[in-house]
Amino acid sequence: MILGAGPMGLATAYFLIKKGYRPIIFEASDRVGGMTASFDFNGIQIERFYHFHCLSDFDYFSILKDLNLFKKLHWVETKMGFYFNKSLQEWGNPISLLFFKGLTFLEKVRYGIHAFYCTKIKNYNNLDKLIATVWIKKWIGNSAYDKLWKKLFDYKFYELSDKLSAAWICSRIRRIGTSRSSLFSEKLGYLEGGSQTLLDAMTKYINNNGGKIYLNSSVKKVVIKNNCVKAIIANDNLFECDNVISTIPIPFIPKIIPDLNNDVLNKFKSIKNVSVVCVILKLNKPVSKFFWVNVNDGDMDIPGFVEYSNLMPLDKSIIYIPFYMPQTNKKFNDSDDEFIKKCKNYLMKINNNLKSENFIEANVSRYFYSQPVCTPNFLQMLPDISCGIRDLKVADTAYYYPEDRGISESFKFAKNHLANDF
């Protein structure tokens, strides 16, 4: 039995089938995919939360090839922008750094050296012990940190922003930094039809090869007796089983597997997550020429936005604006209309040629446990994936720290750790 039909759960089933097993997946939602799931945005099939692919996503490429989808993966030279001092500037390459308005020459040199250093890191052991904000300030200085990084931390993690591991943030810098065809050209990928193309193919493969996926099936409890998995209870029905692999967000684990050892339960309870409210806007004209725009503006409570139509060709301009925050933040309970109104105002401020009539449609998606808060020595905080129980494995995206959550990373972890020893 596999709990959760996100990328990690689907990949676990996929690799188990390759070994001759017939896995059964229970998914609480009405669709597979987790944060990669799509919806119909009035004629455009699009993901609820944006995804892109880097040149280093080898495990993702492997499954695309297996499913004859690799030809549907396309690469685009994308650009990055930065809205700073009321001006939208190009960012993300040595030339844009050189001409960036707002940094001193020394700050530019220090920032460039730090970014280059991050792309060369292969062992994160030393960085795992350091606080990200302290580490970045040491490299680039307090002033440059305030200009370039502070808002990105503050408007994603809020009061938790000074608790993040330097290894985690370095891995994020490295992933983007190494997805370049040259020092001056960033290259990102998209799949025709978005992630839904892959989700459909994986679902078909699982169903056609002995596996099963039960949607709208919320697991209430994993039954453990004599330190061994015996059954699960889903939608008030008991399903006896030999093995359980959970890929759902680990904050749910203490509730559905309450019979774990107290030390294990306390470790799971200590892992913090942030939520996300993601606003998607459809416009009849582009906002910018950039795929990714960082924002540092005292009047805007966002770290940036993604103009997805500058990666994937679409009939209309599609903008994602994520509001990450701890679940306790009172802003999380604001209405969809409040978030939408705020985002429209922000974009019209960034591009003063935009008018209210340029906005065609809006959608808001929310995800309660979207991002683990990875503190220093994070792996030591996590229980072993077996949790000390025979025939049980528990993991989510936190377990491939220091890598950030991503489809390729989920596939790799599923292959090497969840489906590896059956």
Mean pLDDT of successive 10-residue stretches along the chain, which has 422 residues: 97 97 96 94 90 93 97 96 95 93 96 93 91 97 96 93 94 84 82 95 97 96 94 94 95 96 95 96 97 95 96 94 94 96 97 96 95 92 94 95 92 96 75
- Alpha carbon distance 114, 180 (integer Å): 17
Distance CA 240, CA 224 (A): 11
Query: In the structure encoding, which two tokens stand for residue 253, read together?
Result: 């684990």
H helix or E strand, kind and range, residue 91: strand 87-91
Distance CA 285, CA 27 (A): 38
CA-CA distance, 51 to 60, in Å (whole number)? 13
Torsion of CA 287, 197, 54, 303, to 10 degrees: 40
What is the Cα Rg of the chain in Å?
22
Q: H-helix or E-strand containing 24?
A: strand 24-26
The amino acid at residue 125 is: N
The residue behind tokens 């944060």 is 35
Could you tell me whether strands 2-3 and 244-246 are parallel, antiparallel, or unpaired per DSSP bridges?
parallel
Strand partners, 58: none
Angle at which helix 132-140 crosses helix 105-120, to 10 degrees, equals: 130
Of the candidates 390, 387, 418, which has an alpha carbon nearest to the alpha carbon of residue 258? 387
Domains contained in the chain, CATH given: 2-51+194-271+381-418 (3.50.50.60), 72-192+273-372 (3.90.660.10)
Using CA atoms, how far apart are residues 211 and 38, in angstroms rounded to an integer? 22
Exposed, middle or buried: residue 13 (CB in 10 Å: 0-12, 13-18, 19+)? Answer: buried
Q: For strands 2-3 and 180-182, give the pairing.
A: unpaired
Half-sphere exposure of 215 (CA within 13 A, CB side): 9
pLDDT at 179: 79
**3-state class (DSSP) for residue 172:** helix
Query: For residue 90, what are the β-bridge partners?
Result: 81
Q: Which residue from 244, 251, 247 is spatially nearest to 267, judged by alpha carbons?
A: 251
CA dihedral 222, 223, 228, 230 (to 10 degrees): -100
Contact present, 413 and 379 (Cβ < 8 Å): no
**Whether the Cβ atoms of residue 102 and residue 222 lie closer than 8 Å to each other:** no
Per the CB < 8 A criterion, the answer to whether 232 and 1 are in contact is yes
Output the CA angle 46-247-6, nearest 5 degrees.
15
Element (H, E) at 272: none
